[in-house]
Structure 1
Amino acid sequence: MTEQNKLTIDVVSDVVCPWCFLGMKRLENALASLPDIDAEVRWRPFQLDPTIPAEGKERKAYMLSKFNDEARLTQAHANLVSLGAIEGISFDFDAITVAPNTLDAHRVIRWAAASGAGVQDKLARALFSLYFEQGKNVGDHAVLIEAARQAGMDAAVVESLLATDSDRDEVTNEIVTASRMGITGVPCFLLDGKYAVMGAQESATLADAIRQVAAEKAAGEPTLN
């Protein structure tokens, strides 16, 4: 595998964003169709609503306040359930009772990057599933610690760090940086730090973009911004 075939893919996302869960699955499918490209996927933080208190909010009331129409919310959920089924996701919106603040989840995801190859990816997958398929509160420290343990992290270390302010500022600064880059919605896929693909694009679209960036890198050409 040459250096030209190696790419970094930074996925800017929030663990309570259903489109980010879809985007994760579509990225997996895209990469599976590109066996000659060695992609390092890195998860970057974003908060859809950083104003949610640490204890979270009652989700149904919170979502209704955003949609202002129960019928619209029901339709949005139904659409996501249909799209999720295609990607192997079993969305269960009725099981979700808490709209959490996700800052602590992003802190754990950040620590996972230093915990070994594949650990961060495994943790991100687990948190999406816990929230959207099992209705778990991913703002709850106990849920985060157990998810970290199952992903291969040292649960005792995660528990001790969560009790502190470790990396709060770093995560917040990353989110601010994403906003300054013009990222106002997620998911956003940053390919080799040069080319951005916005939204939960179809797997084929993501694969084409990745293939293009890899080809331009191999040819030594500047990638389009």
Structure 2
Amino acid sequence: MSTLKPVRLDIVSDVVCPWCYIGKRRIEKALSLVTDIPVEVHWRPFFLNPWVPREGISREDYLTTKFGSVEAYKGIAGRVVTAAGEEGLSYRPDMVKRQPNTIDCHRLIHWAEAKGKAAEMKQRLMELYFRDGGDLTDVNVLVRAAADVGLDAEETRRRLATDEDVALISAQAEEAASKGISGVPTFVFAQKYAVSGAQPPEQLAAALRQVSAEVNAQAAE
């Protein structure tokens, strides 16, 4: 059993951010490279597109607003699709028909965290969106996703129909922005050091080792 003090790792990301999808896989690979270091992972919300209304908008309207046209995004998407494929992930932009506001997704991740299932919930929502073109504005899709990772379907449906934790998630996202986080994923180590972007696993693993050494040196003083 490790006697090392755990490293706290806060991962600030959004479920509709393709580089967050890739970054999640890379940090998982990084963690597999440092199994001797205890790490406490916390998934933190970020709103990549806070201007998208709660009911969502069509993907076409979204791409036109953000990138100028659907065609303009295709060039950008190609690079991301390739990067996802290299990580064993599937991103099929043509499958996505609706752009969601992600506050309900972040609520699900927050509720799943109470059961130790935050990472699974995050992964399920990302797979639904990027791989399957799932409509994350559809409450039935969200409830099924929650049930897939072991949350109670009817309880989830009831909670989604309320404003439970909307203020909390919004405050957490605003806190990240107030600390200067503008690009995601951002990996925050020991609440002190931030690494932005879907960095290679080896680089993230090196950062974990370095921070762990510092955290434990301080603990020994």
* Bucket of the pairwise TM-score, normalised by the shorter protein: over 0.9
Distance 2:162 2:30 in 1: 38
Q: Is the contact between residue 12 and residue 46 of structure 1 (CA under 8 Å) also seen in structure 2? A: yes
Q: Which residue of 2 aligns with 1:181?
A: 179
Matched position secondary structure for 2:143: helix
Distance 1:204 1:71 in 2: 35
How much has 1:42 moved relative to structure 2?
Answer: 1.2
Structure 2 counterpart of 1:143, from 129, 138, 141: 141
After superposition, residues 34-183 of structure 1 pair within 5 angstroms as 34-115=34-115, 117=116, 119-183=117-181
Q: Is the contact between residue 15 and residue 128 of structure 1 (CA under 8 Å) also seen in structure 2? A: yes
Distance 2:192 2:35 in 1: 22
Q: Is the contact between residue 56 and residue 101 of structure 1 (CA under 8 Å) also seen in structure 2? A: yes
Which residue identity is paired with 1:94? D
Distance 1:215 1:132 in 2: 37
Q: Is the contact between residue 5 and residue 36 of structure 1 (CA under 8 Å) also seen in structure 2? A: no
Runs of at least 5 residues in structure 1 that lack an aligned partner in the other structure: none
Instruction: State which drifts further: 161-170 or 145-154.
Output: 145-154
How much has 1:5 moved relative to structure 2?
Answer: 4.7
Distance 2:198 2:118 in 1: 20
Change (3 A) 1:162 1:70: closer
Q: Which residue of 1 aligns with 2:21?
A: 21
Output the TM-score relative to the length of structure 2.
0.94
Distance 1:69 1:62 in 2: 9
Q: Is the contact between residue 26 and residue 203 of structure 1 (CA under 8 Å) also seen in structure 2? A: yes
Which residue identity is paired with 1:111? W
Output the TM-score relative to the length of structure 1.
0.93
Q: Per-residue displacement from partner, 1:67-112 (whole Å, max 9, x unpaired)? A: 1254431111110111011101111000000000111111111111
Which residue identity is paired with 1:186? V
Q: Per-residue displacement from partner, 1:3-28 (whole Å, max 9, x unpaired)? A: 53522211111100001001100001
Matched position secondary structure for 1:40: strand
Which residue identity is paired with 2:152? D
Q: Is the contact between residue 105 and residue 139 of structure 1 (CA under 8 Å) also seen in structure 2? A: no
Change (3 A) 1:63 1:38: same
Distance 2:88 2:55 in 1: 30
Q: Does 1:216 align with 2:214?
A: yes
Identity %: 41
Q: Per-residue displacement from partner, 1:128-183 (whole Å, max 9, x unpaired)? A: 11100000012221111111111111222111110101011001111111111111
Change (3 A) 1:65 1:146: same
How much has 1:2 moved relative to structure 2?
Answer: 3.5
Q: Per-residue displacement from partner, 1:160-219 (whole Å, max 9, x unpaired)? A: 110101011001111111111111111111112121111111111111111110111122
